[in-house]
Amino acid sequence: MFLDQFHDSAEGAIRISARQASRFAKEVAGDYNPIHDEDAKRFCVPGDLLFALVLAYQGVSERMQFIFQGMVGADVPLSIVARDDTVLDVVDHAGKTYLRVERSGCINREPDFIEAFVRRYVAFSGKNFPHYMKPLMAEKKVMFNPDRPLVIYDSMGFELDMLDARELDMELASASMDVAGKRGESRLHFRITAGGQSVGSGSKKLVISGLREYDEERLQEFIAEFTRRKQAYEAAL
């Protein structure tokens, strides 16, 4: 599978190194969140990589909901456990759950379809910042702490009307943010299309902690550094 380079599987366990996770974030998702840098102090595996691995090993169901329950560090041995036909858990050897997946409907296990679906979704998902979040923060007049941005992937879900679509694409349908003190919840709703025809929909929820008053100049500095890091990484490939 195309995800082989982004994880290792042996003795019944899935392991993701910091380098593998960082490469997936940048090269597949276009996600340059510093928390996914392999030398980050608070490093964690991208939620989109866990999402992708679940689909790669378990297939794409017509209806799926992903609830993230903890951040995965580097080289943690993981297993995907089927609780029943409708619930999957991504757990470590101690039984701690990092991701719960609820699913229903028919399942497509075709590798080409799964790869296309994963690639389109994570490309969409990787545009959280600055594409989708900056306008929301400007509207609400709040922003994350640029010295310590803490944006947590809370959950996502989707429904598909057909499981054999080709020419898949995903685009933002609407976005909103609710603010309560220093905490914000952002919801991104997206359309799933095939050849320009709607074949499904989904939504993603992000939690932003440590909100502060919006500062356009400071945020533009953060975006400039974000862009510099992205360009430097791509130039080195």
- What is the pLDDT tens value at each position of the chain, 237 positions in all? 889 999 999 888 999 999 999 999 999 998 888 889 999 888 999 999 999 999 999 999 999 999 999 999 999 999 999 999 999 999 999 999 999 999 999 999 999 999 999 999 999 998 888 889 999 999 999 999 998 888 889 999 999 999 988 889 999 999 999 999 999 999 999 999 998 899 999 999 999 999 999 999 999 999 998 899 889 888 888
Q: What is the CATH number of the domain that holds 206?
A: 2.40.160
State the pTM of this model: 0.94
Q: Is 7 helix (H, G, I), strand (E, B) or coil?
A: coil
Longest dimension (CA), the chain: 51
Host domain of residue 16? 2-236
Distance CA 44, CA 62 (A): 29
Residue 234 has which token pair? 């791509």
Counted domains in the chain: 1
First-to-last CA distance in the chain?
22
Residue 52 has which token pair? 């992708």
Distance CA 129, CA 31 (A): 8
Contact 204, 155 (CB under 8 A): yes
